[in-house]
Structures are given as structure tokens and as C-alpha cells.
Amino acid sequence: MKKISDEDKIMMETLYWWGIPTLFRCKNDPDPNNCDIALVGVPHSTGNGTTERDQHLGPRAVRNISAMLKRSHLDYGIDPWKKNKIHDLGDVPFPEANDNEKCIERISSFYDHIEKAQKPVVSIGGDHSITGGILQSLAKKNSKLTKGKKVSIVHFDAHTDCYEKLDHFLGAKKSAAHWASYLVKQGNVDPKTSTQIGIRGNPRTLDWLQASYDIGYQVITMEEYKKIGHEKSSKKILDKLDDKPIYVTFDLDCLDVTVAPGTANLEPAFRGFNIDEARKLIQSLKGKNVIGGDVACLMPTKDSPNNITSMVAASIMFEIICLISLNLNNR
């Protein structure tokens, strides 16, 4: 077989239609001990029943296109793929896929071996209930990854996911609507150092933010963000943080529907973040102790034919990966 030059190999590896699809064309290795940064697919969609349950197709969609987003980071001046061993650990297995509570426990069990290996991890969902399963593991009381500390979350979303009026959402108890609440009650998340940002839309009830306030979260609605701007919003997020590890969870519905049309629970009547606004907010965490993150609620069956929402999801993953890579290489 004719030898492929290094230059040709670099070009080929960024063509999404060539080769075996993994997240960002990374090596597929299920053992987290062999990597510096772990990537995981969480194909779960029974935690959200308000729209078609197609979010479980998200990891496959991102694997199909993410090779073309295996890039260097211009703002940070790093190539994370050369600086660190970044591996695709595969997908969380869901033999009881239609049972949300068993799936959440499956997620926690899968992430236990990542927590024990003390590896930062970036995940692609899946509906937003996946964050509950992930942080039940990564931020448990005896966690090696967080040194037993709770985590601070920076939560991008159009919705608070602090549903308190019922103990279930269409039958799912640890649902996409409940995780931000129960993780605080379980002692995994410190709400006093955490922020929910991008909340928008006409609510079902006028007290829609009260549960978040009662739990202790700082809330920056989309309306407030538009009034005070990026710098003041970033400062509010940073001022809340302390020395706790940080976890970034990003629901694609925080983005404007023109940016991310292929997502669940759209809020089309109100402008969401554009991609530059979202990226800059994530980049404001540069130098902070980010130990992981996830991107949730990609619905490939509702995406544009050019797969723009999958590309946006991969782009957000890339930003979180680069934050972690920067931290690992500045120790």
C-alpha cells in the first residue's frame, strides 16, 4: 500500500466522511487510565418526555461530523490533540433504555471508573437528565476527582431544570426537569457558587424562577444578559466561584433557534445566545479548575440537512475540552 504522508494524514483525519467515526477522530479506548481527557457518549432520552425522544441519537450524530472540528484553538494558542491524550471511551450502555431511573444509575456506574481514574471528562448526550447521573458519580462525597468536594456548576439553559411542583416529570423522577434540584439536595452541587444562565421564554407559571432562588442558585436570565452584557455577566459568574471544581453543562436550547434548530424544548419567541456569546462565556472560565462538562439535548432528526446543530454541539464540546487541556498543561 502506498504510504500516506504526515500532511495527507492530517488532512484525511479531518474529513468527516472518511474512516471510522469516533469523537473528534480520537482513539477509541474504554480504559480511562490510558488518557488525559475522556470523551463519552450518553445516548439517553427517557428523562425528557415533552418532545420527541430522539436525543439518544446525539452521540452518533456528533461522532459522524466531529472529525472536521478537530482543530487548534486560536484564542488559546494550543492544539489539545497534540498536547494531551484525548480518548473516546465509547457510550454508556443502556440495556433498560426505556426506564429512566435505571438509566441514571447506569450513567453513574459508568462514570465511577472515570472518577476513580481522576480524569476530566466531556460528554455528549442525550437529554439533560444525563447531568444528574454524571455528577452523582463525579461529585460524590468520596470522589477522587473532586477530592471529596462538591462542584460548582455553570449551567447554560433556556430552562432551570429545578422542577419542584411534582416529584416526577411524566413518570421520570430523576428527569431532565429535576436534576439541578436533586443534585443540590444530595450534596453533589453547591448552589451558592453556581450559576444558571440563558433562562428565557414564556413560563408555564409566573413563579418559574422561584425554585432556583430557593435552592440557592444565581440566575442570569437571557433578558438580564442582554441588559448588562457579556463583561458584567461573566463577572457575576466568576464572582460566585470559589476553589471548588467546576462543571460546565450546556443545554443547546440556550442558543437561538437559528443557531441550533435541532434541539428539544425550543423557545422560538425569545432570542437565545448566538454562538459567539456562548463561546465567550465559556472562555471566561479560562484558568479555572474545570473538571468536566456535557452538551445536552441535541435532536439530530430535527436538525438542518447540513447537520449544523451537531456541528455546534461539537464546537461547544471543543471549547470545554480546550479549557481542560489548558489547565492540564499549565500545572
Domains and CATH numbers, the chain: 31-329 (3.40.800.10)
pLDDT at 91: 97
Q: Which residue has the cell 450559576?
A: 195
Q: For residue 314, give the 3-state DSSP assignment.
A: helix
pLDDT at residue number 169: 59
Give the model's pLDDT for residue 24. Answer: 95
Report pLDDT digits (tens) over 262-315: 998 899 999 999 999 999 999 999 999 999 999 999 999 999 999 999 999 999
Residue 16 confidence (pLDDT): 80
As a three-state string, the secondary structure of 181-209 is: HHHHHCCCECHHHCEEEEECCCCCCCCCC
pLDDT at 282: 98
Question: What is the pLDDT at residue 166?
Answer: 67
Structure confidence at residue 167 (pLDDT) = 62
Residue 51 is predicted with a pLDDT of 67
Beta strands across the sheet bearing 246-251: 27-28, 86-91, 37-42, 121-125, 290-296, 246-251, 152-156, 195-199, 218-221
Quick one: pLDDT at residue 47?
83
Residues in the chain, pLDDT under 70: 49-51, 165-172, 331
The predicted structure's pLDDT at residue 8: 84
pLDDT of residue 17: 82
Name, in order, each residue with C-beta under 8 angstroms of 187's C-beta and a sequence gap of 6 or more: 141, 150
Of 186, 184, 246, 243, which Cα lies nearest the Cα of 214?
184
- The span from the CA of 306 to the CA of 293, in Å, is 25
